[in-house]
Amino acid sequence: MKKIVTLVFTALAFSAFSQKLITETEFELFGDHIFVSVSVDDSEPVDFIFDTGDGLAVIDLDVAKKLDLKMDHQSSKTSAQGSISGALIEHNKIEINDVKLDEIELYTTDLSHLERTIGRNIDGIIGYDLLKNYVVRVDYSDMTLKLFDQDGYQNEGFVEGFKFKLVNYIPTIEASVTLNNGESYTENFFINTGAGTTLDFNSPFASKHDVVDKTGEHYSYPVSGLGDEETMHYEGRVKEFSIGTFKIEELPIGISQAKHGIQHNKKVAGIIGNGVLKHFNITYDYAAGKLYMAPNENFEKPYVVNSSGINLQFSKDMKKILIHRVFEESPAEEAGIEVDAELLSVNGTAVADLTLPEIRKTLEATEGGVKLTYKQNGEVLEATLELKPLI
């Protein structure tokens, strides 16, 4: 035992000596999205999503105007999620604590449709501009983002390392999936902390291998990315998904039908999103082209799915929570709940006192009932849904 303890101490001591921590900051995990506080050109703190799928730093148009940022010119830009139109703002400075990223190009766009889906204000999105300059560790255990100097960085032991390649500024790693019919594939997948999903198959891969038909039970609903165009999206399960030696059985997955953007990429099979990534503490070393994954306390937790048949989002003015979609043969459909009904309370608690992720978590319970009060066609109604996983 003494020898093992000595080796552990030596490894940790060497690790501490060989890496230089520049700064660390707490982040908020809102649903499956990472929010960090940053400053833009010496502004008051604003909340940006940290997104490894973001090759383009984005700021909400209203926030840019509020901060009086000088907009250079209007143009279109291709992002991971497709083509967007807005104004380019050049030569900005973004700060996280005392870390300064100079000469950043910010691209303005309207993020309100994402805010309605995620359930809170989004001031901007940042990813590649941070990752290309620092080794970034996302520690989901203590909810901190740690930045290290790239020079001489050596990752601490007892984790699994993976080589990655950047495709459209997004890291891709090799992983394996076994579909429900027993077919197995080893492919490259995007690592995308900005995706509030577990594993999504890109539309070319899904079409080539008839993934929808080989998924078994599934349901569908519309989704949107950085642009506000919606495409149909399927949800199901796969028999097994593995990243290196880490294996996940019966993983809930998504199947994209996108016709452009990251989910239409023909060379990459799909996206590993924050629904899976949050089960690990992950270090991204872009200079070395490696990332390191260590299971955290979330690793053994089950992966939950929609059990109510309701898809929710905020109204355009962010004042009401609306029923955006009701899935077929679900508890919500059986109760007669319709699209565009306004949700008023959940188990007697007004929705104004709950966050959207809190409501969704309640509706993902594997069993039991949930009492909903809602306004539909001008009438206040109540329904108790007997929850059951849709897949």
- The confidence score (pLDDT) of residue 92 equals 87
Instruction: Give me the residue spans of the domains in the chain.
Output: 160-295, 310-386
**Residue 87 one-letter amino acid:** A
pLDDT for the residue numbered 207: 95
Alpha helices (runs of H) in 19-166, residue ranges in sequence order: 61-66, 112-118, 128-131
Mean pLDDT in order along the chain per 10 residues (391 residues) = 32 50 96 97 96 92 92 59 67 92 90 94 96 97 96 83 95 97 97 95 96 86 62 89 97 91 92 97 97 95 94 95 94 97 98 97 90 98 95 89
Instruction: Give the tokens for residue 241.
Output: 């998904």
Nearest to 161 by CA among 291, 295, 294: 291
Residue 12: its pLDDT value, please?
40
Which amino acid, 232? Answer: M
Q: Which of 199, 271, 259 is nearest to 232 (CA)?
A: 259
Q: Which residues contact 19 (CB under 8 A, 6 or more apart)?
A: 135, 148, 149, 152, 153, 154, 155, 156
Q: What is the pTM of this model?
A: 0.89
> Residue 198's pLDDT is what?
96
Burial 44-65 (b: 16+ CB within 10 A, else e): eebbbbbbbbbbbbbbbbebbe
3-state DSSP helix/strand/coil % of the chain, to nearest 5: 15, 45, 40
Nearest to 327 by CA among 342, 297, 307: 307
182's CB contacts (< 8 A; 6+ apart) are 239
Topology classification of domain 310-386: Pdz3 Domain (2.30.42)
Q: Which CATH class is domain 160-295?
A: mainly beta
